């Protein structure tokens, strides 16, 4: 298995633009997690899905953030409009224990 696959690995965008991060979890895993990592706040859970259903989105910082999981093999995290303070590394994890390589987002 290739593990959790995230794309893109790096994203640089201008403030106000829409950003979409993508994740392909490990096949057969029922849970999917989106985390954000910054130097200031460490690792923060944004949202997690169980069997494609959002269970807890209390970590989503604002309405500008949204996440979907249309099927068991794909999830997206969207930020619209993006702001410089959204700059961070965003991780997707499969079943809480298997993390992807992350997407480094820079909003200028």
Partner 1 sequence: GENVEQHPSTLSVQEGDSAVIKCTYSDSASNYFPWYKQELGKGPQLIIDIRSNVGEKKDQRIAVTLNKTAKHFSLHITETQPEDSAVYFCAASLTGNQFYFGTGTSLTVIP
34 binds partner 1 (CB under 8 A): no
CB 108 within 8 A of CB 12: yes
Spatial neighbors of 88 by CB under 8 A, at least 6 apart, are 36, 37, 38, 105
Interface size with partner 1, residues (CB under 8 A): 19
54 binds partner 1 (CB under 8 A): no
31 binds partner 1 (CB under 8 A): yes
Q: What are phi and psi of 86, to 5 degrees?
A: -80, -5
55 binds partner 1 (CB under 8 A): yes
Q: What are phi and psi of 37, to 5 degrees?
A: -125, 125
CA distances from 107 to 46, 72, 84 (A): 18, 29, 5
Among 65, 91, 105, 107, binds partner 1 (CB under 8 A): 91
Among 50, 52, 66, 87, binds partner 1 (CB under 8 A): 50
Binding footprint of partner 1 on the chain (CB under 8 A): 4, 31, 33, 42-43, 45, 48, 50, 55-56, 91, 93, 96-102
């Amino acid at each position: 298995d290739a593990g959790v696959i995230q794309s893109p690995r790096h994203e640089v965008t201008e403030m106000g633009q829409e950003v979409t991060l993508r994740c392909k979890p490990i096949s057969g895993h029922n849970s999917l997690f989106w985390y954000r990592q910054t130097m200031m706040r460490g690792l923060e859970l944004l949202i997690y899905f169980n069997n494609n259903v959002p269970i807890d989105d209390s970590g989503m910082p604002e309405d500008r953030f949204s996440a979907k999981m249309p099927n068991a093999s794909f999830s997206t995290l969207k930020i619209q409009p993006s702001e410089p303070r959204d700059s961070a590394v965003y991780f997707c994890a499969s079943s809480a224990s298997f993390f992807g390589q992350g997407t480094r987002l820079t909003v200028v």
